[in-house]
Amino acid sequence: MKKLIIFGLTDAAELALYYFSNDSDYQVEAFAVDPAYMPADKRFKGFPVVGFDEVPRIYPPDCYVFFVALGYSRLNQIRKEKYLAVKALGYEMVSYISSRASVLTEDIGDNCFILEDNTIQPFVRIGNNVTMWSGNHVGHHSCIEDHCFLASHVVVSGRVTIRESCFVGVNATLRDHVTIGANCIIGAGTLILEDAAAEGVYVGQGTERSRVPSTRVRNI
């Protein structure tokens, strides 16, 4: 069983601790964080916390593996920067792929976080440092490039390409054969029927409040 260091102290790190501890062959040993964010007691969820600058000395790369547990802040750039910093230190980066996901491809990069109920069809390619929250569908021959974040219940149809560092919100739908340019934000509930140029922001329409108050609705 390989010994694992997790970077981060956010909710994402707590979730990574849960998933790796309960559904993987890795043993969590400690957490790492930038020194400015070091907790006073140097502990997190019962585990030691070390400054990132001290990690190679205390937990050397030849004995430990690493996972960066960060969200999509600054359109995935913070997670990307820390991923590259850990790689530069010589650590093996590991992925978590839920045993409750239907994964029919082996072409998945490192430092990926793929949660339960994802369906990933044959011939899909997933890059490095990709987060896929629960319940997404990724159709055949699609490609999700490095540093992307897919929230829950996204539908990616067949032969879709999502370029680097995109965010795709809950319940978004991407038609087959479209390409999403790098650094796009695809908002919750969005329907994409054609290619999306790089750095685009696509926002779905929210439901408006009815003029009728709930106290006047008779059938509920």
Only one residue has tokens 């790369």, namely 61
Q: From 140, 136, 182, select the one nearest 159 (Cα to Cα).
A: 140
**Residue 71 among known ligand-binding residues:** yes
Question: How many residues in total does the chain contain?
Answer: 220
CATH for 96-203, options being 1.10.287.130, 3.50.50.60, 2.160.10.10, 1.20.1090.10: 2.160.10.10
Query: What is the widest separation between alpha-carbon atoms in the chain?
Result: 68
pLDDT-derived band of residue 219, with 50, 70 and 90 as boundaries?
Answer: confident
Containing 87, the helix (H) or strand (E) segment is helix 77-88
Half-sphere exposure of 76 (CA within 13 A, CB side): 27
d(CA 172, CA 112) in angstroms, rounded, equals 20
Domain ranges within the chain, ordered by starting residue: 2-93, 96-203
Q: What is the pLDDT of residues 47-64, one digit of tens each?
A: 999 999 999 999 999 999
**Which CATH number does 2-93 carry?**
3.40.50.20
pTM: 0.95
Residues with Cβ within 8 Å of 79's Cβ and at least 6 positions away in sequence, in order, are 68, 70, 71, 72, 73, 129, 131, 147
Q: What is the pLDDT of residues 4-46, one digit of tens each?
A: 999 999 999 999 999 999 999 999 999 999 999 999 999 999 9
CA 49 from centroid of its chain's CA atoms: 22
Are 4 and 66 in contact by the 8 Å Cβ rule? The answer is yes
